[in-house]
Amino acid sequence: MDEEFALDDPTQLLDSASDFAHHPGSLNDAAVKDFLDRFPLPVIISALQTKSDVPGLENTLVACLERVFKTKYGASLIPQYMTFVQVGLKADSQIVRCLSCKTVSSFLKNFDDKSIYAIKLIIDCDIYPLLLDCLINGDEQVATAAIDAIKNLAQFPEAMGIIFPSNINEAKHLGNVASRCSSLGRVRVLSLIVKLFSISSSIASVIYNSNLLSLLEAEIRNSNDTLVTLSALELLYELTEVQHGAEFLARTTLQLLHSIISNSSMESILRSRALMISGRLLSKENVYMFVDEPSAKSLISAIDVRLGLLDSQDTDERESALEALGGIGSSIQGAVLLLTSFPPAARHIVHAAFDRQGGGKQLAALHALGNIVGENRPEDGVILNGDAEESLRRLVYEVASESSKLTPSGLLLSVLQQAAEFRLAGYRVITGLVARVWCLMEICSKPEIINMVTDPTAETTKIAMEARYNCCKAIHRSFMSSKLVSDPALSAIAGKLQEAVQRGPYLVRKHTEATPVVMTAERF
C-alpha cells in the first residue's frame, strides 16, 4: 500500500482499523500480520500523529494498535518502534499515553529470556522516568496503565536498580518522587509501592529496607485531609491481604492502628477502616511469628475499649469493631487472645450475637462468633486451649442465664428462628461450637434444632442449603465421636442425622415412581 495515499485519504485506514479493533474474540498472529501487511505500522503511527483532527481516527487507531501489540507477533515489533513509545509517553493525548504505557507492558510480558537486552532498551530510551510522569500527571486510566507497566518491569531482576536506586538522593527514588507530588500524586506513588510489594517476598523486603512503607504510614498519620488518609488506609488494607505482608507490616503497623483506634477526635470512618485492617492483619496465623503477644493484646484492648465507648448511634463503627474481633478470632492464636484477655474481648461478640434487637450488629457478631469457635478453621484447629475453652463456655452460659431463653440451646434455636441471613450465620456458629461436648449436649436437648438442621426444605438458596448441611454434618460427626452415641434415648437423633447426611445438602425426592398416564381414545 502506498503510504502517502493512506495518509492523504485516511477513510480506508479508519474503516479497516475499526473492523480490526472491534473484531470479536481474540486475534492470532496471522490475522495481525495480514492487517499490518495492508497497513504497515509506520502508516498507522504517522496517521495517529498527524491526523488527530479526523473525527474518531485517534480512538480507533489507539484501539487497533492496542490489539496489535497484545499479540506475540505485534509485541515482537515493539523494539523497532520504541521511539514512538517514547514520544507517546510524552503526548498531550491521554489515550495515546495510555496506549504507550500498555505497549511497554506488552513488550515486557512477551520478552522471553533476553532480559538484559529488554532492560537496556528501557534504559536507553529513558522509559522509566516517563512512566513515572504518566503515573503522577496522567489521568486515572493512564496512571493505572503506568503502574501495570512498572510492575511488569519489576519482574526483571536487572530492573531492581532502576526502580529502587541505591542512592536515596536520586530523583527517581520513589521517596523523592512522592515528596514532589500533590496529594493525589503521593497516593498514586503509594499505590505503586503497594502493587510492587505484592509481587514477591524479595521485592517486599527491598521496599521495607528502602523505608518506603514509612511513606504510607506518614500519609496515614497526617490526618489533615480525610480523603487522602482514607485512601492511604485502603492501600494498607490491600497490603494486609498480601500473603507475605504480615512479616513486614507486623513490625510497625500495630502501633499505628492502635493510635488511630484510640483517637476519639479522629473521623469515625477512619477508625472503622483501622478496625477492619486490624482484624485482617491479626487474622493471619503467621503474623504471630513476627509480632509479640503484648503488642497484639494491646491492639485488641484498644478495640475492646473503643467498643465500650460506642453508643447505639455509632452503628457502622460498632459493626466494624465486631467484624475486626471476628477476623482476629478466625486464627487460633487470635481466638485465644480474645477469650483469655481480661476482661475477655470476646464478651462483646457473645452478648451481641444473641441480641435479637441488634440488627446489623447482631449479624456481624454472629459471624464473628462463628470465626472464634472455629467454623472456618481446619478440623484439628477448632478446639482451643483449656483456658480459652473454659472462657468461651462461661460466656455463652452467662449470656443464656441473663436472657429469657435460659440455656445455650434456647439461644441457638432463637437464632435459627430468625430471618434467612441470621439463620445462615447461626448455622456457622453451631458448626464450630458443636465440637464442644457441652454444646453437643445442648443441641441434642432441643429436638427443634435437630429438626431444622436435618430438614432439606428449611432453606431455599444454595448457600443456605450448604450451610445447613455443613451444620448437620458437624453435629453428626461430633455425636458419633462422643459417648452420647451409646445412649439409647438418643438413637432417634442419631438415625435422623445419619439420614440427613446421606441425603446431601439439596432437596431430592426419596423415591421416584412411574406414574401411569391415562389418555382418552381419539375418536374420528
Over residues 323-351, mean pLDDT: 93
Can you say whether residue 25 is alpha, beta or left, with left for phi > 0 and alpha for psi between -120 and 50 degrees? left
Q: Which long-range contacts (CB under 8 A, 24 or more apart) does 398-406 make?
A: 398/350, 399/350, 399/351, 399/354, 400/354, 403/354, 405/354
| Amino acid (one-letter) located at 227 | L
Over residues 458-476, mean pLDDT: 91
pLDDT single digits (tens) 283-332: 988 888 888 889 999 999 999 999 888 776 678 888 899 999 999 999 99
pLDDT single digits (tens) 190-217: 999 999 999 999 999 999 988 899 999 9
In the CATH hierarchy, which fold is given to the domain comprising 250-387? Answer: Leucine-rich Repeat Variant (1.25.10)
- Percentage of the chain surpassing pLDDT 70? 93
- The pLDDT of residue 369 is above 60: yes
More confident site: 513 or 26 = 26
More confident site: 519 or 84 = 84
Spatial contact of 407 and 400, defined as CB atoms under 8 Å apart? yes
Q: What is the mean pLDDT of the chain?
A: 88
pLDDT band at 394 (very low <50, low <70, confident <90, very high): very high
CA dist., res. 54 & res. 10, Å (int) = 8
The DSSP symbol for 520 reads P
pLDDT single digits (tens) 252-287: 789 999 999 999 888 899 999 999 999 999 998 888
pTM reported for the whole predicted model: 0.83
Spatial contact of 358 and 404, defined as CB atoms under 8 Å apart? no
- Percentage of the chain surpassing pLDDT 90? 50
pLDDT single digits (tens) 100-133: 999 999 999 887 665 678 888 899 999 999 999 9
pLDDT band at 456 (very low <50, low <70, confident <90, very high): confident
Q: Which has the closest alpha carbon to 501: 521, 473, 474?
A: 473
